[in-house]
Amino acid sequence: AQSEAPPIPEEVLALARAARRVAVFSGAGISAESGVPTFREVQTGLWERFSAQDLATPEAFESDPALVHTWYRWRAGLIQQVAPNPGHRALAQWQQTLREAGGSLSIATQNVDDLHERAGAEVLAHLHGSITAYRCADCEAPVELPGSRYDGATAPREPEDPPLCQICEEGLIRPGVVWFGEALPMAAFDAAADAMRAADLILVVGTSGLVQPAASLPLLGMERGTVLIEVNPEPTELSDAMHHRLRGPAGELLPVLVE
**What residue type is 24 in one-letter code?**
V
Using DSSP, state whether 250 is helix, strand or coil: helix
Is the Cα torsion angle 77, 236, 91, 124 positive or negative in sign? negative
Q: How far apart are CA 99 and CA 97, in angstroms?
A: 5
Query: How many separate helices (H) and strands (E) can be counted in the chain?
Result: 10, 9
Out of 77, 152, 218, 249, the residue judged to bind ligand BJW by CB under 6 A: 249
Q: How far is CA 105 from the centre of its chain?
A: 16
Q: Which stretch binds ligand BJW (CB under 6 A): 162-170, 191-199, 221-229, 248-256?
A: 248-256
- Distance of closest approach, residue 102 Cβ to ligand BJW, in angstroms: 29
- Distance of closest approach, residue 211 Cβ to ligand BJW, in angstroms: 4
Using DSSP, state whether 190 is helix, strand or coil: helix
Out of 38, 93, 130, 132, the residue judged to bind ligand BJW by CB under 6 A: 38
Out of 34, 95, 106, 110, the residue judged to bind ligand BJW by CB under 6 A: 110
Nearest residue to ligand BJW, by Cβ distance, number only: 29
* Active site (annotated) includes residue 116: no
Out of 70, 95, 148, 207, the residue judged to bind ligand BJW by CB under 6 A: 207
Of residues 213 through 232, those in contact with ligand BJW by CB under 6 A are 213, 231-232
- Residues 49-76: b if buried by 16+ CB within 10 A, e if exposed: ebeeeebbbeebbeeebebbbbbbbbbb
The answer to whether the beta carbons of residues 174 and 135 sit under 8 Å apart is yes
Going by the annotation, the residues of the binding site for Zn(2+) are 136, 139, 165, 168
DSSP labels for 104-153?
EEEEEE---S-HHHHTTPPPSEETTEEEEEEEETTT--EE--PPPS--SS
Verify binding: residue 39, ligand BJW, rule CB under 6 A.
yes
Torsion of the alpha carbons at 115, 211, 148 and 62, rounded to the nearest 10: 160
Out of 8, 32, 107, 201, the residue judged to bind ligand BJW by CB under 6 A: 32
Verify binding: residue 171, ligand BJW, rule CB under 6 A.
no
Verify binding: residue 31, ligand BJW, rule CB under 6 A.
no
Q: In the complex, which residues of this chain contact ligand BJW (CB under 6 A)? A: 27-30, 32-33, 38-41, 45, 56, 110, 112, 128, 177-178, 180-183, 206-208, 210-213, 231-234, 236, 249-251
Where in the sequence numbering do the catalytic residues fall?
128
